[in-house]
Amino acid sequence: MRTSYQSLLTTAGFVDVEARNETVEYRATQLRWIAAGERHEAALRAAIGDEAYEQGRRESEAALRAIEDGLLVRYRYSATR
């Protein structure tokens, strides 16, 4: 991006802009999604099919690797207008 989210929010008229890094929590969520997918693999495959199950698993594992490599972060923004 050419500018930050804080700058975009400020330009849009928001004040009291705060950013909170939620990457640690997001990583924990990815780990729980992966574990739940493994626990319920048979039921998920039956419900959504093998292809969708495999795609979801690959995407979750790729997100986890990106987080661990420092390539993916998650921030939560709050602001007042």
- Angle (nearest 5°) at CA 2 between 59 and 11: 110
Q: Over the stretch 6-34, which tens digit does the pLDDT of each residue have? A: 999 999 999 999 999 999 999 999 999 99
The more confident residue out of 41 and 2 is 41
State the number of CA atoms in the 13 A half-sphere of 46 facing the CB: 4
Q: Over the stretch 33-57, which tens digit does the pLDDT of each residue have? A: 999 999 999 999 999 999 999 999 9
Beta carbons of 18 and 45 less than 8 angstroms apart: no
pLDDT band, residue 2 (cuts 50/70/90): confident
- Angle (nearest 5°) at CA 5 between 27 and 13: 140
Cβ-based neighbours of 76, under 8 Å, separated by 6 or more:
19, 20, 22
